Amino acid sequence: MSSAEAAPLPKHHRALVLETIEEGFKVKTVPTPRPDAGSAVVPILEAGVLSYHREIYSGERHHDFPKPIVGGLSAIARIAAVGPDAMVLQPGQLVFMDCVIRARDHPDSMFLIAIHEGMDAGSRRLGNEVWRDGAFAQYMKLPLKNCIPLGETRLCRELGYNFRELMYLTYLMVPFGGLRDIHLEPGETIVVCPATGGFGGAGVQVAIAMGARVIAMGRNEKELARLKEHVKKTSPTASIETVKMTGDRETDVAALKAFGTIDAIIDLTPPFACKSTHLKSAISCLRRGGRCSMMGYVEDVIHWNVIALNIALKRETYV
């Protein structure tokens, strides 16, 4: 059985290639990949960009990835060609391309394509030899299971989303995973901290969409107010409160407790804020049997009440 193509793939295409950290990205003409078993080739319609992408590719953030490499993240794309074992995905379909790659036979071997080569030998081999290049290109090859079909008629024609707006899924899916892990229920109260960054702000919006009451924590009161205004504009019935992080644990505890019982927390602290006390403050306010999704990088958060109050901690990391 041969692969399926909507139209013949071009022999070459343009891509943003990083050969060395010192030289930075250059536009180059590179061979267009061909699909084989378990893969698809897609033209990129919108490529996601992290707020700290520059820090990754400049070496400021010490992410390990092979070089030369085509940069990238997740993307909105359209299937151009699929391998012979594809049963559902067909050329022409609109898809969300997930940048999290896992080995077929060992899901613990995981890496972020064009961002980080992962933590074990298997992920490094996959990231170097198999799924190397990212979405900063006209075409990209990726595993079939990383192509998530999107209902184009419903999303784009009926609801009016454009491809750039759909690209926000890159941010929304991260906190959604953490909130799903702790089984957030409608009507519960959850602390999102810190809430004014890209992933934190997305976490607020996802929690609101799931029917929760949100307490958004952050250092910048102006950004907290802007976030609350945005949420209320798009979801007028949303229940959202804000708390300024002061750096003083007891002050933050008092501010959180003023809003009553807290059922859950999702933390998305970036590495540079790893010594902040805000998560300790939030955990101190959890009810008995509360849950905390730890998706950030805070150090030393275990408090006596984690054991005393039967609090569940779930640990994941975002990009």
pLDDT bracket for residue 271 (50, 70, 90): confident
- CB of 257 closer than 8 Å to CB of 279: no
Q: Which residue has the higher pLDDT, 170 or 3?
A: 170
pLDDT recorded at residue 300 = 72
Please tell me the distance from the alpha carbon of residue 272 to that of residue 209, in angstroms, as a whole number. 29
The pLDDT of residue 6: 64
The stretch 267-271 carries a mean pLDDT of 90
Query: Is the predicted pLDDT of residue 1 greater than 50, yes or no?
Result: no
Calculate the average pLDDT of the chain: 93
Please, which residues have CB within 8 angstroms of residue 19's CB and are 6 or more apart in sequence? 26, 67, 68
Mean pLDDT of 273-293: 91
Quote the pLDDT of residue 141: 97
How far, in Å, CA of 307 to CA of 285, rounded?
A: 14
Average pLDDT over residues 195-200: 94
Total residue count of the chain as it appears in this document? 319
At the second CATH level, the architecture of 4-166 is: Alpha-Beta Complex (3.90)
- 239 Cβ partners below 8 Å, 6+ apart? 208, 212, 213, 214
CA dihedral of residues 268, 319, 168, 212 (deg, nearest 10): -30
Question: What is the model's pLDDT at position 33?
Answer: 96
The answer to whether 200 and 218 have CB atoms below 8 angstroms apart is yes
**Percent of the chain scoring above 70 in pLDDT:** 96
Per-residue confidence (pLDDT) for residue 305, from 0 to 100? 72
Kindly report, residue by residue over 51-72, the tens digit of the pLDDT.
999 999 999 988 999 999 999 9
Record the pTM. Answer: 0.88
What Rg do the C-alpha atoms of the chain give, in angstroms?
21
Q: Is the pLDDT of residue 304 over 70?
A: no
CB atoms within 10 A of CB 159: 10
For the chain, domain boundaries: 4-166, 171-315
**Residue range 139-197, pLDDT digits in tens:** 999 999 999 999 999 999 999 999 999 999 999 999 999 999 999 999 999 999 999 99
State which CATH number among 3.40.718.10, 3.40.50.720, 1.20.1260.10, 2.60.40.1930 fits the domain covering 171-315: 3.40.50.720
- Cβ contact 113:57 at 8 Å: no
- Identical fold, 4-166 and 171-315: no
Residue 85's alpha-carbon distances to 143, 146, 150, 277, in angstroms, are 12, 15, 20, 51
- The arithmetic mean of pLDDT across residues 20-24, rounded, is 94
The closest alpha carbon to 273, from 205, 196, 203, belongs to 196
> Would you say residue 317 has pLDDT above 70?
no
* pLDDT higher than 80, residue 131: yes
Q: What is the pLDDT of residue 68?
A: 96
Strand partners, 101: 111
Tokens 């300790």, residue?
A: 280
For residues 296 and 274, what is the distance between their CA atoms, to the nearest angstrom? 8
DSSP code of residue 32:
P
Q: What are the tokens at 12?
A: 């070459």
